[in-house]
Amino acid sequence: MTIQQPLNNDSTSNKSGGEPPSGYNEILHRRFMLWRDQSGASVNRIAMMIDKSAALVSQYINRKYQGDIAEIEKDIANLLRREEDFEHPLEEEAFCPTHNAKLIWEVLQFCDEYHEMGVAVGRSGSGKTRTCNEYKRKNRASILITADLTRRSISSVLMMIASKTGGTVRSGTNSLLLDSIIDRLKGSNRLIIIDEAHLLRWENFEVIRKIHDCGNVGIVYVGQERLYDQMKGDTDKAYLYDQIYGRITMKRDRFHVNRKDVVMIAESLKPGLNKECIDFLYKISQLRKGFRNMTKTLKVAKVRQVNYGVEFNLDLLTDVYGFLMKEE
């Protein structure tokens, strides 16, 4: 499975195809249109933000501007630099396409392209959230929300999704909010990724199923192993998930850490480590907390090397790991 690369540092997919209009920076225009839709900013508001007339902004939006396109695109680029989704910046630390990342990416990419429903489940520290963030960064039209214990009601989950679909989110009944989300997503070809999905109540799965069915968008649930167990029949409440389980088209759960994954991550964070250090990092990666503790140990060791002027070796890694995991 090949992980997609961003086009000229931009990742907004152009599923509709077509040739860019003459003179326009197509990548920048797509980014701008996505930001406008997600932010709900009006033409007048945008005009004020870039100190241009509303008529000029409208012409740019509709690709009819006949003036100095380079000048307005410079203003648009500055606007996006200030206002674009800071939660998922275009530039980020190096992402390593590990074995686990490729499996998760397969689900995300498939469900994105074919508007299907899928799941990616694995233990904590296997790289799920990191991969979801990277997919969102490179495919900026996708919607990424993270479930948590404080927002488990239907209205809370709907509000999280609505806030990412563009426009103004108004309070009202859950049914009205659901209808507005579906109306915004119809024909959008977008993907909704729900991280920590094992924290959702079954009612929320039913509501999201409605969005999937009526909005014709892809859905991917990402979480711990118990997420899929409760769907497939390993609990006494599995019948509640029949409608969801029947729609799961793709699943990935055979996550493990390869030695070459450890080498890849180590090289991205601290190039040139010797075999002893790699062996130790690989040993850490096989424990319950996986990649998370391995990368944390490596990052803290780097800081200690700089702050204390010590040699970066196995003893340093061992000391740092012992300090971090002292409670165990």
* 221 close to 194: Cβ distance less than 8 angstroms: yes
**Residue-wise burial string across 224-252, b where 16 or more C-beta atoms lie within 10 A, e elsewhere:** beebbebbeeeeeeeebbeebbeebebbb
Which token pair is 232?
A: 């497939």
Global pTM reads: 0.72
**Residue whose token pair is 């993270």:** 146
127: left (phi over 0), alpha (psi -120 to 50) or beta: left
Mean pLDDT estimate for the chain: 85
pLDDT tier for residue 240 given thresholds of 50, 70 and 90: confident
What is the CATH architecture assignment of 26-83? Answer: Orthogonal Bundle (1.10)
Q: Looking at residue 93, what is its pLDDT?
A: 60
Q: Please identify, in words, the CATH class of the domain defined by 99-252.
A: alpha beta
108 alpha-carbon distance from chain centroid: 9
Q: State mean pLDDT over 16-34.
A: 70
Is residue 9 over pLDDT 70? Answer: no
Going from N- to C-terminal start, the domains of the chain cover: 26-83, 99-252, 259-324
Task: Name every residue whose Cβ is closer than 8 Å to that of residue 70 and which is 6 or more positions away in sequence.
Answer: none
Q: Which pLDDT tens digit goes with each residue over 57-83?
A: 999 999 888 888 989 999 998 888 877
CA dihedral 136, 139, 141, 145 (to 10 degrees): -10
Maximal CA-CA distance, the chain: 66
Q: State mean pLDDT over 271-285.
A: 94
Q: Looking at residue 274, what is its pLDDT?
A: 95
Portion of the chain with pLDDT greater than 70, in percent: 86
Which token pair is 247?
A: 């729609």
Angle at 270 between CA 265 and CA 272, to 5 degrees: 100
Q: What is the C-alpha separation between 111 and 114, in angstroms, rounded?
A: 5
Q: Which pLDDT tens digit goes with each residue over 178-232?
A: 999 999 899 888 999 999 999 999 999 999 999 999 999 999 999 998 888 878 7
DSSP 321: H
pLDDT tier for residue 171 given thresholds of 50, 70 and 90: low
Which token pair is 241?
A: 């998930």
- Beta-strand pair 191-195/143-146: parallel
Q: What is the C-alpha separation between 236 and 134, in angstroms, rounded?
A: 36
Q: Looking at residue 168, what is its pLDDT?
A: 60
Q: Which pLDDT tens digit goes with each residue over 187-201?
A: 888 999 999 999 999
Which token pair is 111?
A: 């469900």
- Beta-strand pair 248-252/218-223: unpaired
Q: Looking at residue 87, what is its pLDDT?
A: 55
